[in-house]
Structure 1
């Protein structure tokens, strides 16, 4: 339902009610509704921020929880890397996937790009 409210708010900001051919009374109601929705969304950070939150929550429905974690872990990223570097991690089985993944992200620690070329090379060889 929030997605529909955001979509309606986007429509209200780009198309005027009078241009839709509705009677004046309906146009006034649409204008008031649009203003109300826009005011509510502005109180929550604006249309774009609410839209991004909807997308993140929608992605979670597919068991993709990563978009929800970034805002909690991003400020602590340097501390997490320092902690990982100070620990001596040892595989308890022949499966080294977690250690390999940790080596991979540690190697890319100082990168700031959204996508790493290392990731593309790694997935191509995997």
Structure 2
């Protein structure tokens, strides 16, 4: 990921990002291959024997530039050395997500989706009795 894609052209990958993208007025262009998304959506729609739902979390996740492991990552089972941390262009991990944060939200969305599919609205376990 490039800092320019998040509106921070002077940044170094995802290093020292402490806030999500705020007040962005247009969709982010992070070069996602939407053909892959379209293919997955088509396969999910055509699955007849197994019910499959597709929950698109891509755009929501794109805005969380602050949620990557950055230099606080592990390579080949070891923490980065001070020398590696000094070279964020090469060693910053801006692909994986750290906890707590984005994966927690994904889990909450999935949990809500599962509950909404398995319970009638009036008896939903998370709602107070009426």
Normalization by structure 1: what TM-score? Answer: 0.24
Greater helix proportion: 1
Which is higher, the Rg of structure 1 or of structure 2?
A: 1
Normalization by structure 2: what TM-score? Answer: 0.23
Greater strand proportion: 2
Return the structure number with greater relative CO, CA threshold 8 A, min gap 6: 2
